[in-house]
Amino acid sequence: MWQDLQLGSGLDIELTYDRDVQVDGGVFGLDDDYDLTPSLARFLTLNQHLISARLPDIEAAIDKYRKHHKAECRWKEGVLSYRFLSFVYNQPRGPDGLAESSIASERDLRVRQKLLGSEAIFKVTYERLATVATSPAATWWYIFWVRPTLP
**pLDDT higher than threshold 90 for residue 83:** no
**pLDDT higher than threshold 60 for residue 112:** yes
**DSSP sequence for 68-112:** HHHHHHHHHHHHS-HHHHIIIIIS---STTHHHHHHTT---HHHH
Q: State residue 136's pLDDT score.
A: 92
Q: State residue 71's pLDDT score.
A: 96
16 phi and psi angles, rounded to 5 deg: -115, 115
Which residues on adjacent β-strands are paired with residue 22?
16
Who contacts 134 (Cβ-Cβ below 8 Å, separation ≥6)? none
How much is the average pLDDT of 72-96?
Answer: 77
How far, in Å, CA of 71 to CA of 80, rounded?
A: 14
**pLDDT higher than threshold 80 for residue 99:** no
How far, in Å, CA of 95 to CA of 88, rounded?
A: 9
Across 7-16, 36-45, 108-117, 118-127, which has the greatest mean pLDDT?
A: 36-45
Q: State residue 33's pLDDT score.
A: 86
Q: State residue 151's pLDDT score.
A: 56
Higher pLDDT, 148 or 126: 126
Task: List the Cα angle 144/145/147 in 5-degree steps.
Answer: 105
pLDDT tens string 22-81? 888 888 898 888 899 999 999 999 999 999 999 999 999 999 999 999 999 999 888 888
What is the pTM (predicted TM-score) of this model?
Answer: 0.57
**Residues 99, 115 contacting (CB under 8 angstroms):** yes
**DSSP sequence for 16-67:** EEETTEEEEGGGGT--TT----HHHHHHHHHTHHHHHHHHHHHHHHHHHHHH
